């Protein structure tokens, strides 16, 4: 089984993140950039399938030059090789255009299975899995908390607000995963050393047959007009519980008409 794992480099969600003032895109230059957390669960799931069923795991990233750091980090967990789509024209691409690039790169791979995180921590938009599957005309099993593979048949459990759904499809298919699906491994020292030598193919938009005007800020289907810092919340009254902390809490709730 050949598995492509989508990996995105994002600004660290634990630090302050901003949009650029000149073109309203995510400020990646000043941020501490890391692998999107959910993607580590996608890599782990792919590696477990490879361990059980054999085959090959390829990491696919669309992003600027510096995303190479995250690709090497991803490879240090164990995947065999990586593809990096990098092109200056991609800067400022919207989700619709990015899905076109991802789909074109996946199509070149002839993969049985595409695995990705359910969302990225920067945009938290959750649209990419279905956009890519729609373009490729393959099944999308999204939001998996559990994945089982029997031959070419995939089955997931997907959390819903009311419980869960069991959804099946045959390969080729795309599966997106939540962080409830597994516990990602830490890269070993050996893995880190090996990652430096693993094949990394670099592709431009031209290699994918996509024109520069179809992506980037010019080709975007939506635009940010302005962005502003939200005024920070003001801390209110903080009391010591003493003997009547609970009563005082209810007094406050009553004064705000919640009780």
Partner 1 sequence: MAEVLVVVEASSQGGVKKVTLEMLTLARTLGGDVAAVVLGGSSDELTAKLGEYGATKIYAAAGADLDEYLVAPKATVLAGLIQRVSPAAVLLASTQEGKEIAARVAVKLDNGVLTDVVALEPDGTATQVVFAGSTIVKSKVTKGLPIVTVRPNSLTPAPAPATPAVEPVEVAVADKDRLAKVVERKVEAKGARPELAEASIVVSGGRGVGSADNFKLVEELADLLGGAVGASRAAVDSGFYPHQFQVGQTGKTVSPQLYVALGISGAIQHRAGMQTSKTIVAVNKDAEAPIFELADFGVVGDLFKVVPQAAEEIRKRK
Nearer to partner 1, 193 or 247 (CB): 247
95 CB-near residues (< 8 Å, 6+ apart): 123, 125, 127, 128, 131
User: In angstroms, what is the minimal distance from the CB of 56 to partner 1?
Assistant: 23
Site membership for partner 1, residue 21 (CB under 8 A) = no
User: In angstroms, what is the minimal distance from the CB of 162 to partner 1?
Assistant: 5
Contacts to partner 1 from residues 204-223, by CB under 8 A = 220-223
The single residue among 30, 81, 152, 168 that binds partner 1, judged by CB under 8 A, is 168
Contacts to partner 1 from residues 175-194, by CB under 8 A = 178-180
Site membership for partner 1, residue 38 (CB under 8 A) = yes
Q: Return the structure tokens found at 230.
A: 């939200």
User: In angstroms, what is the minimal distance from the CB of 214 to partner 1?
Assistant: 10
> Near partner 1 by CB under 8 A, which window of 61-69, 77-85, 106-114, 153-161?
153-161
Contacts to partner 1 from residues 42-101, by CB under 8 A = 94-96, 99
Helices (H), 78-127: 95-107
In eight-state DSSP terms, residue 19 is B
Residue 79 · residue 71 · CB < 8 Å: no
Residue with the two structure tokens 């393959």: 138
Q: What's the rounded Cα separation, in Å, for the pair 206 and 140? A: 27
Site membership for partner 1, residue 139 (CB under 8 A) = yes
Q: What's the rounded Cα separation, in Å, for the pair 241 and 257? A: 21
The single residue among 160, 186, 189, 209 that binds partner 1, judged by CB under 8 A, is 160
Nearer to partner 1, 151 or 163 (CB): 163
CB burial class (10 A; 0-12, 13-18, 19+) of residue 144?
buried
**Residue 198 phi, psi (nearest 5):** -70, 150
CB burial class (10 A; 0-12, 13-18, 19+) of residue 222?
exposed
Nearer to partner 1, 110 or 228 (CB): 228
Nearer to partner 1, 199 or 245 (CB): 245
Q: Return the structure tokens found at 80.
A: 């065999």
Contacts to partner 1 from residues 103-132, by CB under 8 A = 121-131
> In angstroms, what is the C-alpha Rg of the chain?
22
User: In angstroms, what is the minimal distance from the CB of 243 to partner 1?
Assistant: 9
User: In angstroms, what is the minimal distance from the CB of 96 to partner 1?
Assistant: 5
Nearer to partner 1, 82 or 114 (CB): 114
Q: Return the structure tokens found at 121.
A: 């921590």
User: In angstroms, what is the minimal distance from the CB of 17 to partner 1?
Assistant: 4
């Amino acid at each position: 089984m050949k598995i492509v794992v989508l990996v995105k480099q994002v600004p660290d969600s634990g630090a302050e993140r901003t949009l650029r003032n000149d073109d309203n895109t995510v400020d990646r230059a000043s941020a501490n950039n890391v692998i999107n957390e959910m993607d580590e669960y996608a890599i782990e799931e792919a590696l477990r399938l490879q361990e059980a069923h054999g085959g090959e795991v390829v990491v696919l990233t669309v992003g600027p030059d510096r995303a190479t750091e995250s690709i090497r980090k991803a490879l240090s967990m164990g995947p065999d090789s990586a593809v990096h789509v990098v092109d200056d024209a991609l800067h400022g691409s919207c989700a619709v255009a990015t899905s076109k690039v991802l789909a074109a790169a996946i199509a070149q791979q002839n993969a049985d299975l595409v695995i990705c995180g359910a969302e990225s921590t920067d945009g938290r938009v959750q649209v990419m899995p279905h956009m890519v599957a729609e373009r490729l005309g393959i099944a999308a099993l999204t939001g998996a908390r559990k994945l089982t593979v029997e031959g070419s048949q995939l089955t997931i459990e997907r959390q819903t607000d009311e419980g869960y759904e069991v959804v099946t499809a045959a390969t080729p298919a795309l599966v997106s995963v939540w962080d409830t699906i597994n516990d990602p491994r830490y890269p070993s020292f050996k893995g880190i050393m090996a990652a430096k030598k693993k094949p990394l193919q670099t592709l431009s938009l031209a290699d994918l047959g996509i024109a520069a005007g179809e992506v980037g800020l010019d080709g975007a289907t939506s635009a940010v007009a302005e962005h502003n810092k939200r005024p920070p919340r003001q801390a209110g009254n903080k009391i010591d519980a003493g003997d009547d902390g609970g009563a005082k809490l209810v007094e406050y709730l009553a004064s705000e008409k919640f009780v």
